[in-house]
Amino acid sequence: MARLKRITPADIPQHIIQRGNIRKNINKGLALGNEVFIKEIEVLNNARVSSRKAGRPKKNVE
């Protein structure tokens, strides 16, 4: 039986990677584009449209 070739990120076509990014952002309701575009959208809407780290924010210990 022949062994399957190990797939590396360089072997994955760019359009497949982009499709995954598009699907992820649509499902989460996030903006899709470069960092400058996303920052402009956030400023115009006065709301966050990019993802943040999951979970509860840590408390400030003073």
What is the tens place of the pLDDT at every residue in 33-59?
A: 888 988 998 899 898 887 788 888 888
Q: Decide if 28 contacts 5 (C-beta within 8 A).
A: no
H helices of 1-62, where? 14-28, 35-45
Question: In this structure, which amino acid lies at residue 24?
Answer: K
The reported pLDDT for the residue numbered 1 is: 59
Where do the structural domains in the chain lie, given as residue ranges? 22-50
Coil, helix or strand at residue 26: helix
Burial grade of 6 (CB within 10 A; 0-12, 13-18, 19 or more): exposed
Which residue, 8, 15, 47, is CA-closest to 31? 47
What is the tens place of the pLDDT at every residue in 2-36?
A: 676 776 667 777 777 778 888 888 888 888 888 89
